[in-house]
Each structure stands twice: as C-alpha cells, then as structure tokens.
Amino acid sequence: MINCSFLQMKHQDKPAEENVTELMGFVLLGFADVPLLQSFLFALFLVIYIITLVSNGIILLVTKLDPALHTPMYFFLGNFSFLEICYVSVTLPRMLMNLWTQRRMISLVSCATQMYFILMLGATECFLLAVMAYDRYMAVCNPLHYPLVMNHKVCVQLVFGSWISGIPIQIGQTCQIFSLRFCGSHLINHFFCDIPPILSLACGDTFLNEMMVYIVAVLFVMVPFLLILISYTKIISTILKLPSATSRAKAFSTCSSHLTVVALFYGSGIISYLRSKTSHSAGTGKVLSLFYTIVTPMFNPMIYSLRNKDVTMALRKLLWK
C-alpha cells in the first residue's frame, strides 16, 4: 500500500555496513530488557487483546442490532468501536508474536506499513472524537435543530471524512521518514514502529523531519482537540443554565463518557508527540504509547457501557435473546 522510493533500495554506493538496516530492516526490542517477564507479558497482552476485541465488538453489535440505538450518537460510537479494533490490531499481534517467538526482526516495508496505519488511525480517532463532541454540542445546545442537522447522510459524511482526511498526509510523512538513511544501530527500543524511535536511528540532521512531525501533530491532534474544547465549553455553559437539577445531571451523564475517553487518548498522545526532544526517554515513550494504543481501546467500551443506561439496556436485551 505504501509505495515509497525507499523501498527501491537506492543507496547502492554506500559501504555494505551502512546498508545493513536497509537490507535487513529493524529489530523491535520491545520488552527485551525484562527477559523473566516475557511469558507474563505475553499472557497479559493476549488477555488485553481478547478483551478489547470482544468488548468493542459487542458495542459495535448492539449499536447495529438495537433499534433504540439507531441515533447519531450511537452511530458514531459504533464506528468508534470499529476504529479501536483496527487500532489495537496494528500493534498487539506483532507484539504478541515477538514475545512468543523472541524473533524481533521487522522488515523495512512492514515497519513503514505499521507506522502508516498507526498514524492514519490515530488521525482518524482525533477527528472522530471531534465529530462526537460536535454531535453532543448540537444535541445539548441546539436540540430543536438536532434531528435536521445531524441526519443520517450528514453522519455518514462526517465519519467518512474522519477516515480519509489523514490518508494522503500520513502517507507523505511515512515516506519522508523512511526515505532517510539509517546507517547506525538498527535496534528500535520500542514495541512498534513509532516516529520518535525511528528518527533517533537516522543519520545526519533530522530537524526538518522533526518539524514536519510537529506540524502534522498540531494539524491532526491540536486542531481537533481545540474543537472539542470549544464544543464542551459551550455545552457546559448551556447545561449550567438549565433550570432543573435532573436535566443538568442527565446532560452531564451523556457527555462524561466522551470526555473521559478524550482525556485518556489526548493526554497520552499529546505528551508523547509534542514533548521536547530533550525529555524523550525510551521508558516514558513506551508507557505513553501503551496508553493511547492499547489501554484506551480496552477501557473505552467499559467507560461507555458502564456509564450509559441505553447501552446497558441494549446489552441486557441482547443477552436475554
């Protein structure tokens, strides 16, 4: 899918020792620094993967099967659950294979493909969270116009736009990073092909590449985040003006789950990609990456189902049937 010039192995004039990375790919160290915990980590991440697939799959299923959940809010939630299944499947299967086999080699093409899908799905999640915040804004602040504005056609267009918006730029960014020369170590101190550890292995000056990472991060992370903040500022302002305490509690309950997911995903993602280079450390990077690639997708269905009466009732009906 990613047809970049680096796949053609251009640098034929370099010495053989400088071509090792281009010919053989990288080695994902992952959790090699804790050899006694390999079996435990494999079992832990396998359980997390199964829980994530099953829980998000159930949310996707109930939003499709239950007529009571055929509303814009749950249409977006179903798409969000499908996105989380895709997101976690980009990183966890490779990590599980590395833990089980202890064969940590990953080819250049596989590494680039994994990075592209992580970036593309991450951008999609940012935009989809912003769309879900806009949906809540319309429902709370403009309830009379909500059915007209958020009709099914508009919802499909918003979801489709969220999925495709990051594709061309993320392809370009992936190709730009993997067109660099990697003449030093080919050991990636991470459990997947992320931008910071890959750039740390590149030869020469990577300032331009780092600036492009910051620009793309601002475009695809900070802009949707600001839209979410604006939406919820207006939502909270409207809720506080409601005369009934019951109405305020109900309005807050419909938004609290989404706010919790936003805090988990954006908190770890922003710190990971927008922190200064001097603060980078492999251990911190791994922990932050675990949050937005693995932990958040696992907890999202629990957050939405446990705090949402409609989803809970739909789950009960499904289990009863």
Lowest mean pLDDT, pick from 37-51, 102-116, 185-199: 185-199
More confident position, 93 or 311: 93
For residue range 250-269, what is the model confidence (pLDDT) as tens digits?
A: 777 778 888 888 888 887 77
Say what the pLDDT of residue 203 is: 84
Task: Give the C-alpha separation, 255 to 70, whole Å.
Answer: 18
Residue range 53-69, pLDDT digits in tens: 999 999 999 999 888 88
Q: Give the separation between CA 266 and CA 7, rounded to whole angstroms.
A: 33
Confidence of residue 19 (pLDDT cuts 50, 70, 90): very low
Q: Which residue has the tokens 């609290």?
A: 256
- Per-residue pLDDT at 161: 95
Sorting pLDDT into bands at 50, 70 and 90, what band is 308?
confident
**pLDDT per residue as tens digits for the range 168-196:** 999 999 999 998 888 767 889 889 998 88
Res. 10: pLDDT tops 50:
no
Q: What share of the chain has pLDDT > 70, as a percent?
A: 87
- Give me the pLDDT at residue 306, please: 67
Of the candidates 151, 186, 15, 170, the one whose C-alpha atom is nearest the C-alpha of residue 75 is 151
Q: Which domains does the chain carry?
A: 23-320 (1.20.1070.10)
Q: Check whether 315 has a pLDDT greater than 90.
A: no
For residue 290, which of 67, 48, 104 has the smallest C-alpha distance?
A: 48
Q: Give the whole-angstrom CA distance, residue 176 versus residue 169.
A: 10
Please give the structure tokens belonging to residue 281: 């450390």
Classify residue 308 as left (phi > 0), alpha (psi -120 to 50) or beta. Answer: beta
Give the dihedral sign, CA 130/134/135/141: positive
3-state secondary structure of 105: strand
| pTM, to two decimals | 0.86
Half-sphere exposure of 172 (CA within 13 A, CB side): 10
